[in-house]
Amino acid sequence: MITENEYKKRRDKLAKKLYNSSVGVIFSATCKTRSNDTEYPYRQNSDFYYLTGFREDNASLVFIKEKESVKTVIFLQKKDEQLELWNGKRLGVKEAKKRFFVDEIYTTDYFKKSIKEYLANKKYLYYDLDSKDKRLKKVLKLSKEIKTFDNIVLHVQKMRLVKSTSEINLINRAVAITTEAHNRAMRSKKIGKNEFELQAEIEYEFKKNGAYSDAYTSIVACGNSANTLHYIDNNQPLVDGELILIDAGCEYEYYASDITRTIPVSGVFTKAQKELYSLILNTQLEIIEMIKPNVKRSDLQAKAEILLTKGMVKLGILKGDYKELIKNKKHKKYYPHGIGHWMGLDVHDTAPYLDDKKKEIPLKKGMVLTIEPGLYIDKDDKNVPKEYRGIGIRIEDDILVTQNGYKNLSIGIAKTIEEIESISSSNYMNTSIL
Ligand code: GLY
Ligand code: MN
Ligand code: MN
């Protein structure tokens, strides 16, 4: 749980970064129509949530800074008995005043009038420069006198890079639920079933354990479908003898998990599958072992490219000197993505990879990132020995950077060939770690 005090500390930290004589505005997410009069489930904007923990729409947070003193104001939707009957309770100003440690709270009706006052004689305006939010138009119309604009979300996103203890606890919980989900998928019978049935097993664990949703659309890809990186159709039969790539992670209390396992439909790997799987697994283990403060993500990327390319040469997938192959980007055909990414309120957390001087930010205690090497070999790729065609494998874990090294948060999911084969052959469903 994140306390109101922690949210206040975050706002104070952000406020310190703002220039004097400035206004900063950050909006809640807007509801999105799915079709006609149905909407997608509402999901708060991550930066707004990071600063407030508030889950309602039609809200905003405003900073007004003058002479080193900062006023923070929340605008939120007013109570409305009729709308609340249909859409659920709103917090309202009275309760919000008890909850949020901000200076002032008003209903959104007052936003336009208030922002006009705040902007008078100010020099700087901070807002999300990339946002297409209609509410911004009002603000920009009223800020004709202001000449200097800055991107408020870049400041927030820098703060999101290193996670607090309470954030790590929530990520841990998300990963624990996803651990159950992947282990469940491995234990469940697969032959004669469809990808969507396996997806249902996974998402059953998410929902059953109180995860609000998935952190991204689950990928359950059997055989050659795994070579489509963002395959989400999940509607093909599970074919005996093939592998299934499952990339699925729940979101728990707004925090993501992002985990991939690749497992055999039959419960047992073939010789060729084992060879490829071992290469990716050994690469992943070696990269994870490198993780500690001050190491750079680009070092991890470079090492992964070397290990995978050398391995592909050994298996006859690529031919030539591995250094030359990497120089000519030949490995990219089979390993086209990055070694991993920041993870937090967003699965691909929007925290920056470069500092203000455009230099790469090294790992620091409290950062969370994925490590996810993979190889993808199309079924029609005649350049590759026949036995490897149509195989796509990725192995992905969620890693916390610690003082002297790392902690693999998803260590509880079967991963070695022996573990996967053993769990797949057991029907024992009662090993929950939750
Ligand atoms: N699930 C998306 C990714 O692995 O980055
Ligand atoms: Mn990922
Ligand atoms: Mn993933």
Average pLDDT over every residue of 262-284 = 98
Please tell me the distance from the alpha carbon of residue 169 to that of residue 187, in angstroms, as a whole number.
27
Choose one of 178, 232, 247, 251 to mutate for the ligand 1 pocket test, by most ligand atoms within 8 angstroms of C-beta.
Answer: 247
Is residue 398 lining ligand 1, measured as CB closer than 6 Å? Answer: no
Q: Look-up: residue for tokens 């923990």?
A: 53
pLDDT of residue 433: 58
**Structure confidence by residue, pLDDT tens digits, 285-312:** 999 999 999 999 999 999 999 999 999 9
428 pLDDT more than 50: no
pLDDT of residue 421: 96
List all residues 6 or more positions away from 392 whose beta carbon is below 8 Å from its beta carbon.
Answer: 221, 224, 225, 226, 227, 243, 245, 262, 374, 375, 376, 377
Is residue 346 lining ligand 1, measured as CB closer than 6 Å? Answer: no
Ranges 4-13, 139-148, 371-380: which has the least confidence: 139-148
* 182 assigned to active site: no
Concatenating the DSSP letter of every residue in 303-355 gives HHHHHHHHHHHHHTSS-S-HHHHHHTTGGGGT--S-S--B-SSSSS----SB-
Distance 394 CA to ligand 2 centre (A): 10
| Superfamily of chain region 4-159 | Creatinase/prolidase N-terminal domain (3.40.350.10)
pLDDT of residue 212: 80
Catalytic residue chosen out of the listed positions 133, 195, 396, 397: 396
pLDDT of residue 132: 87
List all residues 6 or more positions away from 362 whose beta carbon is below 8 Å from its beta carbon.
Answer: 293, 294, 295, 296
List all residues 6 or more positions away from 80 whose beta carbon is below 8 Å from its beta carbon.
Answer: 90
* 331 assigned to active site: no
* 337 assigned to active site: yes
Please tell me the distance from the alpha carbon of residue 371 to that of residue 300, in angstroms, as a whole number.
9
pLDDT of residue 141: 87
Q: What is the pTM of this model?
A: 0.96
Contact 399, 378 (CB under 8 A): no
* 233 assigned to active site: no
Please tell me the distance from the alpha carbon of residue 74 to that of residue 62, in angstroms, as a whole number.
6
Which ligand 1 atom sits nearest the alpha carbon of residue 216? 1
Domain ranges of the chain: 4-159, 165-426
pLDDT of residue 138: 86
pLDDT of residue 354: 96
Catalytic residue chosen out of the listed positions 90, 389, 394, 397: 394
**Structure confidence by residue, pLDDT tens digits, 200-217:** 999 999 999 999 899 999
Indicate the Cα dihedral angle 158, 339, 330, 264, nearest 10°.
Answer: -150
Contact 48, 58 (CB under 8 A): no
Is residue 214 lining ligand 1, measured as CB closer than 6 Å? Answer: no
pLDDT band at 432 (very low <50, low <70, confident <90, very high): low
* 381 assigned to active site: no
Contact 427, 187 (CB under 8 A): yes
Average pLDDT over every residue of 108-130 = 94
**Residues paired with residue 125 on neighbouring β-strands, in sequence order:** 23, 149
**Structure confidence by residue, pLDDT tens digits, 65-103:** 998 899 999 999 999 999 999 999 999 999 999 999 999
**What CATH number matches the domain at 165-426, 3.30.70.1060, 1.10.1200.10, 3.90.230.10, 1.20.58.390?**
3.90.230.10
Q: Give the count of beta carbons closer than 10 Å to the beta carbon of residue 433.
A: 9
Distance 258 CA to ligand 1 centre (A): 6
CA 379 remoteness from chain centre: 30
